[in-house]
Amino acid sequence: MVESRVIFTFADPSRFGLLQRAFNALRDAKKADTIDANDNLWRSYFDDDALSHFWYPTPEELADWTRRWQATPVEKRFTDPTLKTPWDFESMIDAFRNGEYNLLRVIHTSDNTGALQFEALAYPYGGTGCMRALIECFGGIVTEEINT
């Protein structure tokens, strides 16, 4: 197993504690295999500012996006900027559930930087997209990923 880190900065130190609280809840639920993306309990770990970072499409918006996705050639779907959307909340939670890694901890590394530490269990392990989304919704800016 390889310990990896997602390094980030944050401008508002008060947001770090909120990130750490949400991360710890996700870590504990992942370890117990009890993450359910449809459980509204997860929203209680996120304040309104954090929740505002996620995509909540109306049925019409989702239908329009799906139509455009299907009309885009396969080789261009993942690079077409018009198809990029923020994470939706439930997908982020579900990605944590499905990722092939152990979540370890979120720590301060200096006054305005931190690290989210995890152990990849397989390759591919699912990537760090959901980890980045979690950090960013609490105001963090990802600056580096380290795989050791």
Q: Which two tokens stand for residue 32?
A: 């117990």
Per-residue pLDDT, 97: 95
- Amino acid in the structure at residue 100: E
Closest CA to 139 of 5, 6, 25, 12: 12
Residues ≥6 apart with Cβ < 8 Å to 145? 4, 5, 6, 7, 128
d(CA 131, CA 147): 14
Q: What pLDDT digit, counting tens, does each position of 57-99 carry?
A: 999 999 999 999 999 999 999 999 999 999 999 999 999 999 9
d(CA 23, CA 18): 9
Output phi, psi for 58, to 5 deg: -75, 165
Q: What pLDDT digit, counting tens, does each position of 19-37 carry?
A: 999 999 999 999 999 998 7
State the DSSP H helix or E strand holding residue 101, giving kind and residue range, or none if neither: strand 101-110
Residue 1 reports pLDDT greater than 70 = no
Q: Distance of alpha carbon 99 from its chain centroid, rounded?
A: 11
d(CA 108, CA 122): 27
What confidence category does residue 2 fall into, taking pLDDT thresholds of 50, 70 and 90? low
Q: Which two tokens stand for residue 88?
A: 């939706």
Residues ≥6 apart with Cβ < 8 Å to 5? 115, 116, 117, 118, 145, 146, 148
pTM of structure? 0.91
CB atoms inside a 10 Å sphere around CB 114: 22
Residue 148 reports pLDDT greater than 80 = no
Q: How is the chain split into domains, by residue range?
A: 2-56+85-147
